[in-house]
Copies of this chain bind each other. A is one copy, B any other.
Amino acid sequence: MRNFEYYSPTKIIFGKDTHKQVGEEVKKYANKILLHYGGGSVKKSGLYDQVVNSLNEAGVEFIELGGVQSNPKLGLVYKGIELCKENNIELILAVGGGSVIDSAKGIGMGVKYDGDVWDIYNSHKTIRDQPSLPIATILTIPAAGSETSPNTVLTNEKTLIKTGAMSKYVRPVFSIMNPELCYTLPKYQMACGVSDMLAHTMERYFTNTEAVDYSDRLLEASMKSIINMGPKLVYNMQDYDTWANIMWAGSMVHNGILGMGREEDWASHDIEHQLSAVYNIAHGAGLSIVFPAWMKYVYKQNINKFIQFAVKVWDVDLSYENPEAIISECILRAESFYKKIGLPIRLSEIDIDGTEFKAMAKRVTEFSTVGNFKKLEEEDIVQIYKLALK
């Protein structure tokens, strides 16, 4: 196990009706805020009105900026930064899923950064821990884990580069998580969220760090829970208990605590980011396509880790004399899980062909190899895209 530091001060307020406390909670930090959200769904569902009421009751002044799209765009972040500066905003309240929260984090850092905010994202990890306006969230889509994480990902719509930044200052000061707010999500979006949180767990699980048995067990428990609970929502999107478990799992697997002392991988995320930047597909759907292909390409790197994954997570019960058969079966089960919740597992299913493979692989590896379980170069990425094709 490696040395590590862990610090996660986000206050989590979890459960039924908790979003109604938002005004009172915000008031502890700020008198004037930016209310940031996405499309029409928060208005249609009535959430917007409830938030506004709560803010008004608490005497919190706000201006608003809606219109965050999935794969959130740099353009809107620039707009948010302007708004915050003009209005002396003290905190940004993101009401939505990971895209809205990530956009809020971009705005928050941009306000405090003396230059183009894109530098922070595009700096290939040289700008770390950029100060930010405080961020708070009401989470409506369990998926990205951004409600407790120090991470944010943005897409530059001009260059088609999608990339992330990390700062301890963008960990939300509080996050309100009410599973009831998920009832009105489209099923496909639920599935994409489940895929994203499963991916966050796998990115941490596949490591070459030795002697991380305890976090291995916690990650396996998380993967099994996500795999068992996800499909229940396909049958009943109003299942409070399942949403509550899924929502909590989504935060747990991405607040950092389950990856402590381990080197993490993140190749599949990097490989996927190009897909969603170029084709504007949902991140979770990109991951359900990329991850099986990545597994096929890298498993020989550490056969025993993959056997453990197959046996402990996917309950594969075949003879250990043929490890390849165990691993093939486990990848089949993963694919079958994605199909069960309604996600694609091949690029051809969503009409993507090989035209851009070379260009995307080049962008993925522009500054370095990606991944740690196996370090991947441009040609490796092309091969993985090809394995994902059909």
Contact = CB atoms under 8 A, between A and B. Distances in A.
Interface of A: 1-18, 210-215, 217-218, 220-222, 224-225, 228-229, 241-242, 244-246, 248-249, 252, 257, 260-261
Contacts of A222: 214, 217-218
A14 B9 contact: no
**Interface centre among A3, A214, A220, A229, by most B CB within 10 Å?**
A214
A264 to B, nearest CB: 16
Given A217-B221, A261-B248, A12 B7 contact: yes
A211 B245 contact: yes
A256 to B, nearest CB: 11
A225 B217 contact: yes
A333 B14 CA distance: 37
A261 B241 contact: no
A229 B210 contact: no
Contacts of A17: 3
A251 to B, nearest CB: 9
A338 B260 CA distance: 29
12 contacts: A1-B244, A1-B245, A3-B16, A4-B14, A5-B14, A7-B12, A9-B9, A15-B261, A212-B245, A214-B221, A214-B249, A217-B224
Contact of A228 (B3, B213, B246, B260): B213
A236 to B, nearest CB: 13
Contacts of A18: 3
Contacts of A10: 7
A324 B163 CA distance: 56
Contact of A15 (B2, B218, B225, B228): B2
A365 to B, nearest CB: 31
A214 B241 contact: no
Question: Which 5 residue pairs across A and B have the least CB separation, nearest first?
Answer: A3-B15, A211-B241, A217-B221, A9-B9, A221-B221
Contacts of A7: 9-12
B5 A11 contact: yes
A10 B5 CA distance: 10
Contacts of A8: 8-9
B1 A12 contact: no
Contacts of A217: 221-222, 224-225
Contacts of A6: 11-12, 14
B5 A260 contact: no
Nearest to A246: B214
A225 B225 CA distance: 18
A217 B242 CA distance: 14
A217 B252 CA distance: 13
B260 A257 contact: no
A225 to B, nearest CB: 5
Contacts of A224: 217
Given A12-B260, A252-B257, 14 more contacts: A1-B15, A3-B15, A3-B17, A5-B12, A6-B12, A8-B8, A14-B260, A210-B241, A211-B245, A217-B225, A218-B218, A218-B221, A218-B222, A220-B221
